[in-house]
A and B are shown apart, each in its own frame.
Chain A
Amino acid sequence: EAGVTQFPSHSVIEKGQTVTLRCDPISGHDNLYWYRRVMGKEIKFLLHFVKESKQDESGMPNNRFLAERTGGTYSTLKVQPAELEDSGVYFCASSQVSGRETQYFGPGTRLLVL
């Protein structure tokens, strides 16, 4: 069974440009989460989809970030325009049910904004 995949693995862009990250969850997982690791080792919650609906987007930093999950399958996270402080590793995770069930994490997309 394929795990959570993310694309691209790396992205280097200039400040002001747009970047779109993609996450393909494990097939059949209704729950999809986006996280960000910025400085240090802490991972910050961004948002949580249940199927195509945003269940919780309280962690989205500002309106430059737009997440979508059309059709309830893969999800995209667009940053427009990108700022220097957006650099970091963006993780996606999925699970069958929400709550304390194990979330399966993808390998992350490393974003560097210059």
Chain B
Amino acid sequence: EDKVVQSPLSLVVHEGDTVTLNCSYEVTNFRSLLWYKQEKKAPTFLFMLTSSGIEKKSGRLSSILDKKELSSILNITATQTGDSAIYLCAVEKGTGNQFYFGTGTSLTVIP
């Protein structure tokens, strides 16, 4: 059965801390892995990863995919209160183009 698991389920940190969010998957015919940040309404796209070992960076956020371990991590350095959100991981299958979402990691950054 295809599935995506995220950990931890929730996290509370202080401003300035660095956090690492995990996403592991068991999805046949993997196509890509996507990270989203959800605050209010729709999830906001962060990264799409298709190749193993290549880090993608956007400001204080970075992410990398490990196809051997069937996992990805999302790093946030020097966290700010505005980083508080639910971070979703989704895996897209190549066949059928179905998506499998994890249940998200709820991050709370306190001043």
Contact = CB atoms under 8 A, between A and B. Distances in A.
Main secondary structure of the interface of A (DSSP, over half): strand
Interface in B83-111: 85-86, 88, 90, 96-101, 103-104, 106
A102 B103 contact: yes
A104 B90 CA distance: 11
A81 interface: no
B103 A43 contact: no
Given A9-B98, A89-B97, A102 B104 contact: yes
A11 to B, nearest CB: 12
Contact of A107 (B44, B85, B99, B103): B99
A58 to B, nearest CB: 8
Interface residues of B, number: 22
A100 B99 contact: no
Interface residues of A, number: 22
B101 A105 contact: yes
B34 A10 contact: no
Interface in A53-79: 56, 59
A110 B41 CA distance: 21
A91 interface: yes
A57 to B, nearest CB: 12
A48 to B, nearest CB: 8
Contact of A41 (B48, B97, B104): B48
Given A42-B44, A103-B38, A110-B97, 15 more contacts: A9-B96, A9-B98, A10-B96, A41-B48, A42-B45, A43-B45, A45-B41, A89-B99, A100-B86, A104-B103, A105-B88, A107-B98, A107-B99, A108-B98, A108-B99
